[in-house]
Amino acid sequence: MEINLEQIKENKSINELLEFSLINIDKPSGPTSFSVSQFVKNSLKLRKTSHFGTLDPQVSGVLPVALNRASRLNDYFIDKDKTYVGIMRLHKTIPEKKLKEVIKKFIGKIKQIPPLRSRVKREIREREVKSFDILEIDNKDVLFLTQVQAGTYIRKLCDDIGKEIGGAHMLELRRIKAGIFDENKSVNLYDFERAVEEYNNGNETFLRKILIPAEIIGTILKTIQVRKSSLPSLLRGKPIFKEDFENEREITSLNYGEKIAIFYQNRFIEVARITNEKKIIARPEFVFN
């Protein structure tokens, strides 16, 4: 059964949505990702918010922000491919053909050390560059489009390319896609503020429009339907057995360690991890009760 997000949104009150939703923010250049997340939290008077994937202050673009209990889903969304458009400034003019040949060396698996100002441990990490395409060259400025594995540092990538051609650095960068979230369905801070103002004045229409039910987790994880009779025990956090599945044949398609989204019709129940135990099929990681 396919999850119907529009129906879920329609059937929920605004308070229910604020408890378990996301907003796809278009972060401007300037503020930190944390400050944008806090701004959303304070504007909506929420207990908690969490952003999916940090953007440097000077980088703009897609910054999904989870509201209240949806923040618990952070780990399931954050480790997805990212797509950026940016400008790399070359330190000297080189032929386009040579530049493309050098860029080819950085497609695929690469090694990176996080920059000094990064909060993560500075050790060599393997990341994958899925694509790096030149869109336009204007003198020494190269407009590029790149899709990379989560955790890839584009500034470092530009610097490493530069070391092969006499120098280069990243001049501008914008994230246009983060996993399933893209810029075409993002909301800028001005429109977000307007939606909040309308909501505070009694009109929830604009805010409701930009809220994304966190049940969207069912589009990135394999979705499994369970029986209605199993709901009381599953909502108490019990493990999932074969007899809990609506369609027991689905068990054969599950792999040890895989994370799955458990639903009863359009109602999200939990995220669970497949086990290798004899009778227990999966154990809960997050139960939405």
Fold of 5-78+181-216: Pseudouridine synthase (3.30.2350)
Instruction: Give CA separation, 258 vs 110, 226, 253, 254, 289, in Å.
Output: 26, 17, 10, 7, 22
Fold of 84-163: Alpha-Beta Plaits (3.30.70)
Residue 1 reports pLDDT greater than 70: no
Q: How many CB atoms lie within 10 A of CB 185?
A: 12
CB 117 within 8 Å of CB 32: no
Q: Which of 243, 247, 250, 240 is nearest to 270 (CA)?
A: 240
Do 5-78+181-216 and 84-163 have matching folds?
no
Q: Are strands 280-287 and 125-138 parallel, antiparallel or unpaired?
A: unpaired
> Is the Cα torsion angle 179, 15, 284, 246 positive or negative in sign?
negative
* pLDDT, tens only, 15-67: 999 999 999 999 999 999 999 999 999 999 999 999 998 999 999 999 999 99
Query: Which tokens in the block code for residue 271?
Result: 């995220």
Work out the pLDDT band at 70, boundaries 50, 70, 90: very high
Give the pLDDT of residue 115.
Answer: 74
CA 200/CA 188 separation, integer angstroms: 19
Q: Which of 78, 26, 18, 75 is nearest to 48 (CA)?
A: 18
* pLDDT, tens only, 80-108: 999 999 999 999 999 999 999 999 999 99
* pLDDT, tens only, 144-163: 999 999 999 999 999 999 99
Helix and strand counts by DSSP (H, E) for the chain: 9, 16
Q: What is the pTM of this model?
A: 0.93
Exposure letters 130-154 (e unless 16+ CB within 10 A, then b): eebeeeebeeeebbbebbbbbbbbb
CA 153/CA 177 separation, integer angstroms: 15
Q: Classify domain 221-287 at the CATH superfamily level.
A: PUA domain (2.30.130.10)
Quick check: helix, strand or coil at residue 83?
strand
Work out the pLDDT band at 139, boundaries 50, 70, 90: very high
- β partners of residue 226: 245
Q: Name the residues annotated as catalytic.
A: 56
Give the pLDDT of residue 249.
Answer: 85
CB 168 within 8 Å of CB 159: yes
Q: Name the average pLDDT for the chain.
A: 94
